[in-house]
Amino acid sequence: MSPTPTLLWFRRDLRLQDNPALQAALRRGAPLIPLYILDDAGEGAWRAGGAARWWRHHALAALDASLRGLGSRLLIRRGNARAVLRELVAGTDAGAIYWNRCHEPAIEARDQVIQTEFAAGGLAVESFNGSLLHEPPAGLNRQGRPFQVFTPYWRACLALPVAPPLKFTAAALPAPARWPGSLALEELQLPVRARWAAGWTDHWQPGEAGAARRLARFASAAMERYADERNRPDLDGTSLLSPWLHSGELSPRQVWAAVKSRSKESGVFPPSNGARVFLAELGWREFAHHLLRHFPHTPAQPLRAGFAAFPWAADPGGAHLRAWQEGRTGYPIVDAGLRQLWQTGWMHNRVRMVAASFLVKHLRLPWTAGAAWFWDTLVDADLANNTLGWQWTAGCGADAAPFFRVFSPVLQGRKFDPEGAYVRRWVPELAGLPAAHLHAPWEAPGPVLAAAGVVLGKNYPRPIVDHATARLAALAAYHQLRETGPGALAP
């Protein structure tokens, strides 16, 4: 008697290579029904934002094309995942459901209910780690408590072995005798505001093939310069792998293996300082998921509870928030970052820190407002990473930068975009300014502004706040908070 079909449930693992659930399904030796379910309610309050949904649409199209090349296809459904799975189990007589785990609180809670229900019904229900080097339970300190400082956490992780990525070599996938009905991908209506993302395919190639190309390009050359160039938004100095990692078209084990393969000649791992620094950034991704698992309230609330009482500034009509979102703050490095984000769905990491600091400290607007904007506009919007990044900047999270560390946008621009190439690209109305005045156009002499065609207040805004004044106001607010409850600000 032939085995009953296996439902292979794809979620944030939209790839064939290094896919533990897929490999386990193949070992079962049964007809395979690859499945994707759009279950917005199952993702809780943090359903995918607009940019991530655009990416997911194209990643699913690429996965379906790969499956069809193997004599299979991607079955697409929409609705409550439990109900969809019940219907498919009944309609296909499936005997197993396999998936790779997704580490977000709402999704984990939903998955636990599903696993319990179907296992009780006699199905083989298994889930696997396909998205992290080490799943969160592995990351506890000597007292058995969650790490809240990155360095000892990453040191503990480095002492653990990293399994090599699983190789997918099948020439075909076993298909069921009859395919269940499926929605067309377009019926999911994943991309929103299509005109917003009209040019994104010039910047990105969602899908497993695009991920492999970008990884190969980075690991062969740019990784060696990573430690020196990663903070330079005017250079191609970062990996740019985050969108593929978030959607699971690339696994962290594949990234680790690619770095390790560079060690073959020297026998030293990591093979360079650039590689060591890059792997530590992969470690921050792991740390973010560790924190989210142990502190599931943090996407909406500060880890350091005392910061919940922070005296945020009033913003009548949301004018300051809109100016920040639209890249109209009058600070070129901040504006360049927000415009890059809107036009490409991505922002350079150094500029993310500067832009986030400006919102929280210069404008004194809640970090949750910035996190919500990034969530909707980043193609790599990841709940764990987004939460860690914003709480780090706001000084209210684990291993966070202190609140009293206030970035100067002018100094940050001059240091990390010294010739102004980044600002000129994304704020073209300032392109004619010499580098000496590009990051503080309000300080430029009138003739210099006129020669560059810049009219402050007309074709480029004056600063919406003064840096020195805003810095003092932020520090005063922080000291006010410390006086009301200093103990609550401790990590």
Is the domain of 232 the same as that of 364? no
Domain that holds residue 254: 132-163+208-294
**Cα dihedral 259/56/359/348 (nearest 10):** 30
Pairing of strands 96-100, 75-78: unpaired
Task: State yes or no: pLDDT of 63 exceeds 60.
Answer: yes
Kindly state the tokens that stand for 252: 């962290």
Determine which one of 312, 342, 429, 442 is catalytic: 312
Q: How many CB atoms lie within 10 A of CB 356?
A: 24
DSSP character for 424? Answer: H
84 inside domain: yes
At 285, is the pLDDT very low, low, confident or very high (cuts 50, 70, 90)?
very high
Nearest to 41 by CA among 11, 15, 77, 78: 78
Is the domain of 367 the same as that of 253? no
Cβ pair 55, 243 in contact under 8 A: yes
| Cα torsion angle, 206, 351, 359, 150, sign | positive
Is the domain of 253 the same as that of 337? no
105: CB partners within 8 A, 6+ apart: 44, 292, 296
State residue 490's pLDDT score: 57
Among 98-107, 259-268, 280-289, name the one with the lowest average pLDDT.
259-268
Is the domain of 446 the same as that of 380? yes
Is the domain of 39 the same as that of 82? yes
State residue 81's pLDDT score: 97
Is the domain of 249 the same as that of 352? no
At 142, is the pLDDT very low, low, confident or very high (cuts 50, 70, 90)?
confident
Known active-site residue 99: no
Known active-site residue 312: yes
Share of the chain above pLDDT 70, in %: 97
Determine which one of 80, 281, 342, 429 is catalytic: 281
Share of the chain above pLDDT 90, in %: 88
3-state secondary structure 95-111: CEEEEECCCCHHHHHHH
**pLDDT tens-digit profile of 379-426?**
999 999 999 999 999 999 998 778 888 999 999 999 999 999 999 999
**Ramachandran angles phi, psi of 128, nearest 5°:** -140, 160
Of 110, 130, 150, the residue that ends a domain is 130
Kindly state the tokens that stand for 265: 């000649």
172 inside domain: no
**Ramachandran angles phi, psi of 2, nearest 5°:** -75, 145
Determine which one of 244, 390, 392, 426 is catalytic: 390
Kindly state the tokens that stand for 229: 């160039």
At 172, is the pLDDT very low, low, confident or very high (cuts 50, 70, 90)?
very high
State residue 39's pLDDT score: 96
Task: State yes or no: pLDDT of 1 exceeds 80.
Answer: no
Known active-site residue 54: no
Is the domain of 104 the same as that of 230? no
Q: What is the CATH number of the domain that holds 238?
A: 1.25.40.80
Known active-site residue 459: no
67 inside domain: yes
**Ramachandran angles phi, psi of 248, nearest 5°:** 80, 20
Kindly state the tokens that stand for 285: 């991704």
| Cα torsion angle, 133, 40, 377, 351, sign | negative
At 265, is the pLDDT very low, low, confident or very high (cuts 50, 70, 90)?
low
195 inside domain: no
Is the domain of 476 the same as that of 438? yes
Q: What is the CATH number of the domain that holds 372?
A: 1.10.579.10
148 inside domain: yes
**pLDDT tens-digit profile of 413-428?**
999 999 999 999 999 9
Cβ pair 315, 360 in contact under 8 A: no
The helices-and-strands tally (H runs, E runs) of the chain is: 20, 5
**pLDDT tens-digit profile of 182-200?**
999 999 999 877 789 988 9
Of 242, 261, 294, the residue that ends a domain is 294
Kindly state the tokens that stand for 490: 């401790």
Looking at every residue in the chain, the average pLDDT score rounds to 94
Is the domain of 389 the same as that of 334? yes
Is the domain of 250 the same as that of 326? no
Cβ pair 437, 443 in contact under 8 A: yes
201 inside domain: no
**pLDDT tens-digit profile of 292-301?**
999 999 999 9
State residue 443's pLDDT score: 97
| Cα torsion angle, 114, 115, 117, 118, sign | positive
Q: What is the CATH number of the domain that holds 43?
A: 3.40.50.620
CA angle in degrees (0–180, nearest 5) for 343-349-350: 110
278: CB partners within 8 A, 6+ apart: 223, 226, 227, 230, 239, 259
Of 130, 155, 172, the residue that ends a domain is 130
Determine which one of 367, 373, 375, 426 is catalytic: 367
Determine which one of 108, 126, 284, 429 is catalytic: 284
Total tally of structural domains belonging to the chain: 3
State residue 138's pLDDT score: 64
pTM of the model: 0.95
408 inside domain: yes
Is the domain of 331 the same as that of 461? yes
At 484, is the pLDDT very low, low, confident or very high (cuts 50, 70, 90)?
confident
Is the domain of 101 the same as that of 136? no
Cβ pair 183, 76 in contact under 8 A: yes
Task: State yes or no: pLDDT of 466 exceeds 60.
Answer: yes
Q: What average pLDDT score do residues 278-289 get? A: 96
